A and B are shown apart, each in its own frame.
Chain A
């Protein structure tokens, strides 16, 4: 049925390897709260998260990168209590030093959340990480914070929780590459 079709020549094995599956593998980086630095601001604290890209990604086709963390949103005024909180995740454009943070805001990084404690927020940061891979010196980390300009409750990272960066990648070299 099938074995008599198999050639054990080297050429056949090479072809098989190149044409074989495109299945995604994953790596996860766990980031404890101790590794997160807090920066005070007018709209509550911002949190800087830095991490090195896994060496295992070299030569791989990165598929999806998800970043998740747990937040609290507690209003400090009646007006804030009636607003819908937001949390933003932005890539830093320079290393975080002092109280001033420089970051990009033109990425899909703002997520509405629910007022209350202990909400898991998951954001797709694939494009950001792909930019870091293309230009490793641009990796200054991510900042988590409350977007400016809205009268809503400030968001805080929940203490004692762990942040995760999940990398899904593929080994395959054939077929068409993902456009994501």
Chain B
């Protein structure tokens, strides 16, 4: 350590010595046995405010040999250009992972590099994908900032229970996850994650904002948003993973928009048990080997996307009821599939639908259920410029009235048959379009048979906000508009509302979000 003064060298040797005999220095063993390895490396607890910069050492590199903990109230600031090499073996044998080095942040960690001089966390002797454990911010931590950092070969690069900002970072070759958000809002912007193990970014609770970030090559999911979590995703790419993104949120919102790309995955986007709180808009979902979008027990809005070149464009199963509007769905074997009591909504009036189906090698829409799929006001193109009859591209009970075809060429216009058979309509709320909404939304609902129906809007406290329908209606599909006002006609506040339909002795509830 040529940069240290003699006094500092002495201090390090004393502090790192292996204590022998009685605790502390004694007359027989002195300070104990000299441990040169520990003396030359970092380990233990940082209890004050400390700054690491490249000029601290002759080559800008610090070596960590055992678990390093930033204590509560302390701050470690790491300056641009600092290289931190982490041993493949936890010399201290401490922590829950006694074999590998952990960086535990109970205080605050600020690692801010620049594009020319990033802060680098890497294994001392690169061997695999989990040479060290990773950086962990527990639920008492003061938080973390990672800007222009490179983090590689950890088990999980960053796991956090508190708010963090991760920007302009490169995270690669981590065996479990690149970023694991167990709690706390995480801002994740302009990062590149490559070769993460199971998850690229996983969000267990709270929410994340993911912008302009690329995740490539997760064996599991590139972006996983779990039951109690939400995500706002903009301009990001999720590539070559088993799933591009998986959202199983019951109560939180996932909003994917602005040129996101899901490509090269087995499944591009998988929505599971979302309840009116999942938006997938203005994105490209292409070349996913299995399915572009899977909706499993999910509602949500799939709007204005390019969904192409997968075995199935959108696969709806297990009572899924997504609203599918304005998409271009082409070059898939099957454009949209409904099975296992799913009932996707592809249009019921000139204001809805507007999807373009083209070049499906099997079916544009295939309905395996016994319930009608409404798919009016869509464009039905065919494979090679010659019109195909409806039956060639649509299977099952699909209502395709009011067709509007694209103007690709006159020969591609498809003359669809009018309604041919009475449609079976299931009782329940079919769709809420748009949702979220401002200032008004349309609630589509069905009645299997004529009878009394009651539709009311409640706030999250269970208080009645507005009664929309209370009377007898004929069998079929109906719609009612809620303009976002209460019983007195006053505008309601932004937030979550529930629409409840009671008919035929059953009750159906769906969530709506008013965004102002």
Q: Taking A122-B220, A168-B198 as contacts, is the C-beta distance between A20 and B67 under 8 angstroms?
A: yes
Cβ B96 vs Cβ A172 within 8 A: yes
**A34 contacts partner chain B, Cβ-Cβ < 8 Å:** no
Binding-face segment, B10-18, B142-150, B372-380, B459-467: B10-18
**B343 contacts partner chain A, Cβ-Cβ < 8 Å:** no
B16, B96, B139, B226: the one within 8 Å of A176 (CB): B139
Q: Taking A84-B315, A112-B291, A114-B289 as contacts, is the C-beta distance between A20 and B205 under 8 angstroms?
A: no
**A82 contacts partner chain B, Cβ-Cβ < 8 Å:** yes
Q: Taking A24-B176, A84-B337 as contacts, is the C-beta distance between A19 and B134 under 8 angstroms?
A: no
Q: Taking A6-B44, A19-B69, A19-B138 as contacts, is the C-beta distance between A150 and B339 under 8 angstroms?
A: yes
CA distance A22 to B182 in the complex (A): 10
The contact size tier of chain B is 35 or more
Q: Which residue of B lies closest to A174 (CB)?
A: B138
Cβ A19 vs Cβ B291 within 8 A: no
Cβ A171 vs Cβ B291 within 8 A: no
Cβ A16 vs Cβ B95 within 8 A: yes
Cβ A19 vs Cβ B106 within 8 A: yes
Q: Taking A6-B44, A175-B161 as contacts, is the C-beta distance between A20 and B104 under 8 angstroms?
A: yes
Instruction: Give the secondary structure class of A's interface.
Output: loop
- B238 shortest CB reach to chain A, Å: 16
CB interface residues, B 226-268, toward A, < 8 Å: 226-228, 242, 248, 266
**A113 contacts partner chain B, Cβ-Cβ < 8 Å:** yes
**B133 contacts partner chain A, Cβ-Cβ < 8 Å:** yes
CA distance A168 to B96 in the complex (A): 15
Cβ A112 vs Cβ B294 within 8 A: yes
Cβ A112 vs Cβ B46 within 8 A: no
Q: Which residues of chain A have C-beta atoms less than 8 A from B159's C-beta?
A: 21-23
CA distance A170 to B96 in the complex (A): 9
Cβ B11 vs Cβ A4 within 8 A: yes
Cβ A112 vs Cβ B43 within 8 A: no
Cβ B96 vs Cβ A8 within 8 A: no
Q: Which of A26, A174, A178 has the most CB of B within 10 A?
A: A178
The contact size tier of chain A is 35 or more
CB interface residues, B 199-232, toward A, < 8 Å: 204-205, 219-220, 226-228
Cβ A5 vs Cβ B161 within 8 A: no
Cβ A84 vs Cβ B136 within 8 A: no
Chain B residues within 8 Å of A, Cβ to Cβ: 11-12, 15-16, 19, 23, 38, 42-48, 50, 67-69, 71, 94-97, 100, 102, 104, 106, 133-134, 136, 138-139, 155-156, 159, 161, 175-177, 182-183, 198, 204-205, 219-220, 226-228, 242, 248, 266, 272-273, 289-291, 294, 296-297, 311-312, 315, 317-318, 333-334, 337, 339-340, 362-363, 366, 368, 395
* Top 7 A-B pairs, shortest CB-CB distance: A20-B95, A3-B15, A21-B102, A171-B96, A6-B44, A5-B47, A114-B311
Can you spell out 18 A-B residue pairs with CB atoms less than 8 angstroms apart?
Answer: A5-B44, A6-B15, A20-B96, A20-B97, A20-B102, A24-B155, A82-B363, A86-B317, A108-B248, A112-B291, A112-B294, A114-B289, A114-B290, A168-B198, A171-B97, A174-B138, A178-B226, A179-B227
Chain A residues within 8 Å of B, Cβ to Cβ: 1-6, 8, 13, 16-17, 19-26, 64, 66, 82-84, 86, 108, 110-115, 119-120, 122, 147, 149-151, 168, 170-176, 178-180
- Contacts A5-B45, A114-B289, A179-B227 aside, 5 further interface pairs with beta carbons under 8 A come to A16-B69, A21-B159, A64-B198, A84-B312, A84-B366
